[in-house]
Structure 1
């Protein structure tokens, strides 16, 4: 039983159903790997070993009784931005290091209903603000492909646990690329669903009009299994859309690549910071899709230069509003011995928040302040509509749009990129969140340093099944998604 971590989600589900191994054996196997390997990777903030084994025993009982669902007994890791009842939910921040959630996020509750076993909560950029997972309080998560490099962010821990085989799949969140970019950096498949497809209830808010939860795993098939659990309307989330949910697993072969029109935005492939290796691997993957019958169509996305400034006005503005609740009064971190209420507010927030979170709060507060609201925030929202219309116009002629997921491969830890350099690294992912569209990352090769490269496919609204199907068929004809980092090959 030393190679259980090499099995796909389908193989794990079938093995459990056929009693080839028990959920307790599978869970114990992963817990042993975490204990041995995660000291090097630093992907988990909290490991819930005792609870996981209890859930595994309950799953085994359900399988034996014939009351199990498809994924009963399969382990999962949750990004530490999803509230988990009785377990610390930190959002990667000192501000919430002492917060034990009294309830489960809908995504977590759905996982429990499906019989998933929670291994623990994983590291991330503080309050999901960042692209490296170099967490100022819990320490940097390392990229399993090269421990000197970052795994991406903000869902860096969610990517690292899967890439190191410390969980078979994980939940992530994506506000401006935080599923797709770490999936790209760690050689995984990661899906950012249409806004409103997955409930945000119990997901600690960063930018409420763009936050969206989604699956991260090795393959499109694995992601489809988790999407079947995560997706659906939730009355507790006012932005959740009441729309029928596809069976993503059943639809994996539902889209024919033959005749599929893939839009290639010429602006995306002329970006100044686009790495030559990344460009080459993405173009090779598109050529492969063309060989499979897809038709490549050059398109214009004329609003490309507006993505970064528009996002970095709207997201910080929403963040400054959302994070105003962390004031040292109600819950979370409180400074010691405040002299008065103003001192309590100022020191609790300056001591509890890291530098990047403080920077975004300040930018957002400025953009929303009297005299600047119309000039910045309102104008950015108008440009956001133009970006959305730019995509909708493109989808009149193509089925999906292709792009790199990131202009480079994973940065070195401690690279000390300026905030502007870091923000420009999100050029290919931000617009998807501004427009509320779905998009997926697929691994398509490596650069000269053997770091993974990702292809991003962007779909029209509610086309998650189509995106998963295209990537699934690509993965039937390639083996990039099967490649494993050396650390993942270690046996517990």
Structure 2
């Protein structure tokens, strides 16, 4: 079973008509992961026994004909806790950690009879944009295994792109769902902050993190978000707003929608093919009846500095809990309590995590709090005001997801403007708490290029509506990597 030519609807139909059982589907999925994942390294843990047991239980009680997710194998990013199943956040400090409960998003999917086949690789504690910062393995891009899959949700995006699963959960702190979705030619949604509970998500930046779905098409993505969205009493930052059916308006099209393209997102450092892809996407939307115009988000240029100060400060605070005492790695041959803390954390954390902890601790220190953290929070407010102003006149924002297609594993991007654009394109959405979705929109030298649609707070429906209209009128999302043998 590969999922290149399948969707939730087509698989569900087979399950309901008993052309295939949940156990058969799960076994075929596990077999395909074994066959394919040696080249991709998308998974850190594959739960053969648990997945097949759950599938048998679902077969015994029967597939729910009204639930598209019933009996469906999925994958979970390894920073969401899963009861009894190893959860590492791709860090040595949590190398053998087995949680005692499920994250809310995971439990909601479990309650709808999805089957968790395993945990996907990521940058350690979600700190990185290439999935090269994992403590355990480097994930490869299915389109070209010499290229990175993006990050930090690179394992989830690569698993979907490689046809190993139809859907996976990722998390997005500064673009970590959307950028890997772009690099892998799949659909990745970062919902509005608070739309999905963060309970059980191993925290990086608490005011920025958001769980979201990665899928092959827009309808499947909306279906998974339907399942995981909603208020959670365990997470006081989760919204009490009613969750609409995100699939209900998919066919409304884009007539009379106003779409803005920020000039700041089309600046120097953008690859020519990527820029052309955005312009081609704008032309498609115009042909479908939308108005597309240039807009401005003037404080974008301060976003990178503000993001790194805020996210690193929150990481510094959140990662204090990994002290070698209650859970996770504990250093040996220690002499005293200070020695335990220092050695456990020195051995357990990777270089990128250490860098961000140090930057965050510095930014929060008594002598520098006002100069750095407070100033960054003020800049964040200015950026939110920029978006609010644009959304008074426009329904959506269209922008590139990443400045280039996927780059080579181990390849440092030497152009400082490109490195800057790598961050500046995605992180404003997190700073402003907005929803954003990357969709496949073109190719550059055989590699996928994505564009992102950004919406008003809690208006994922309009994003899905526009994304679906684009998908139905183009064939970029139907392309599959050569390893699938389909193109």
Asked if Structure 1 and Structure 2 have the same fold, meaning a TM-score greater than 0.5 normalized by the shorter chain, the answer is yes
How far is 1:151 from its partner? 0.3
Instruction: Give a deviation string over 1:306-360, Cα, whole Å, max 9, x none.
Output: 1100101000000000001111111111111112111111111111001100000
Q: 1:422 to 1:88 in 2, by over 3 A?
A: farther
Matched, 1:62 2:55: no
Residues 125 and 134 of structure 1 are in contact (CA less than 8 Å); yes or no, is this contact kept in structure 2?
Answer: yes
Q: For residue 352 of structure 1, what is the aligned residue in structure 2?
A: 348
Q: For residue 16 of structure 1, what is the aligned residue in structure 2?
A: 15
Q: 1:298 to 1:454 in 2, by over 3 A?
A: same
Q: For residue 167 of structure 1, what is the aligned residue in structure 2?
A: 165
2: CA distance between counterparts of 1:295 and 1:371?
49
Matches within 5 A, 1:84-233: 84-233=82-231
1: CA distance between counterparts of 2:81 and 2:241?
25
Matches within 5 A, 1:277-356: 277-356=273-352
2: CA distance between counterparts of 1:177 and 1:3?
27
User: 451, 462, 473: which is aligned to 1:455?
Assistant: 451
**Normalising to structure 1: TM-score of the pair?**
0.96
How far is 1:268 from its partner? 1.4
Instruction: Give a deviation string over 1:19-69, Cα, whole Å, max 9, x none.
Output: 1211111111110111111011000000001111111112222326x6873
Q: Which runs of 4+ in 1 moved over 6 A?
A: 418-421
Q: 1:24 to 1:423 in 2, by over 3 A?
A: farther
Q: For residue 481 of structure 2, what is the aligned residue in structure 1?
A: 485
- DSSP 3-state at the match of 1:178: coil
Q: For residue 376 of structure 1, what is the aligned residue in structure 2?
A: 372
2: CA distance between counterparts of 1:113 and 1:173?
20
How far is 1:466 from its partner? 1.0
User: 260, 265, 283: which is aligned to 2:257?
Assistant: 260
- DSSP 3-state at the match of 1:214: strand
Q: 1:451 to 1:367 in 2, by over 3 A?
A: same
How far is 1:418 from its partner? 7.5
Structure 1 segments unaligned to the other structure (5+ residues): none
1: CA distance between counterparts of 2:402 and 2:290?
23
Matched, 1:427 2:424: yes
- DSSP 3-state at the match of 2:423: coil
Residues 5 and 30 of structure 1 are in contact (CA less than 8 Å); yes or no, is this contact kept in structure 2?
Answer: no
Residues 63 and 72 of structure 1 are in contact (CA less than 8 Å); yes or no, is this contact kept in structure 2?
Answer: no
**Normalising to structure 2: TM-score of the pair?**
0.97
Q: For residue 33 of structure 1, what is the aligned residue in structure 2?
A: 32
- DSSP 3-state at the match of 1:350: helix
- DSSP 3-state at the match of 1:267: helix
- DSSP 3-state at the match of 2:463: helix
Residues 4 and 480 of structure 2 are in contact (CA less than 8 Å); yes or no, is this contact kept in structure 1?
Answer: no
Residues 261 and 296 of structure 1 are in contact (CA less than 8 Å); yes or no, is this contact kept in structure 2?
Answer: yes
How far is 1:4 from its partner? 5.5
Residues 3 and 166 of structure 2 are in contact (CA less than 8 Å); yes or no, is this contact kept in structure 1?
Answer: no
2: CA distance between counterparts of 1:78 and 1:203?
11
State the aligned residue count.
Answer: 485
Q: 1:187 to 1:321 in 2, by over 3 A?
A: same
Q: 1:437 to 1:115 in 2, by over 3 A?
A: same
How far is 1:167 from its partner? 0.7
Q: For residue 437 of structure 1, what is the aligned residue in structure 2?
A: 434
Residues 83 and 102 of structure 2 are in contact (CA less than 8 Å); yes or no, is this contact kept in structure 1?
Answer: yes
